[in-house]
Amino acid sequence: MEGPRLSGIGMTSARTRERLVQRLQEQGIADRRVLDRIRNVPRHLFMDEALASRAYEDTALPIGFGQTISQPYVVARMTEALLEAGEVRHALEIGTGCGYQTAVLSPLVEKIYTIERIASLLGRARRTLRELRIRNVNFRHDDGNVGWAARAPYDGILLTAAPHAVPPALFEQLAVGGRLIAPVGPDGRQELYRYTKGDTRIERQSLGPVSFVPLLSGLQR
């Protein structure tokens, strides 16, 4: 099974991937490391085969359970925003989803700790990342609102679902000098922010309007 998946639809069209990378550059993505990851991560492996022909479009697509695989531009922008201000050794990801954002980030940091509230999605992401031989990820089935205190502090935190306000526990688990990237706000009025934690205050910078699924509480099988 692994052979056909790795050589299947989407893998054979380098031009399709190159067009996606070119589009991201035109939209302002400049970090070569991030562009290389978008080029090289096989996005079609993170979605159902029925949608694989659309894998390299710059659009969000459904992955089941009311969730989506994020638009490549948004994944690239969030990753770039996290890395712009310096090295990130330990990163916390809230909302593993299908694992695509995890895969893009994985070689750019030392270790990723990722949390997903939907067990079936987490299992699927774990299998896909294992298939791609991505080894520096620790997985947890839990409520992302509470973070992963045992592994804190984190140099970077990414939220792939939108809270109305960033949960205080996540700011507490962010290292001084660390960055937290999060879409914030209700449906239809979300803004992507980068928060930088100082010694006495947290600075916030807007990165533009976005559309994400909401950050929910509780666990789901």
Tokens of 14: 């380098």
Residue 218 backbone zone (phi > 0: left; psi -120 to 50: alpha; other: beta): left
Check residue 58 and report its DSSP letter.
S
To the query of whether residue 70 is one of the catalytic residues in this protein, the response is yes
Q: What's the Rg (C-alpha) of the chain?
A: 16
Q: Is 105 left (phi over 0), alpha (psi -120 to 50) or beta?
A: alpha
CB proximity list for 179: less than 8 A, separation 6 or greater: 81, 82, 85, 88, 155, 156, 157, 194, 195, 196, 197
- Rounded to 5°, the CA angle 9-12-14 comes to 120
- ∠ CA 8-10-16 to the nearest 5 degrees? 160
d(CA 39, CA 16): 9
**Residue in 7, 13, 53, 70 annotated catalytic:** 70
- Active site (catalytic) residues: 70
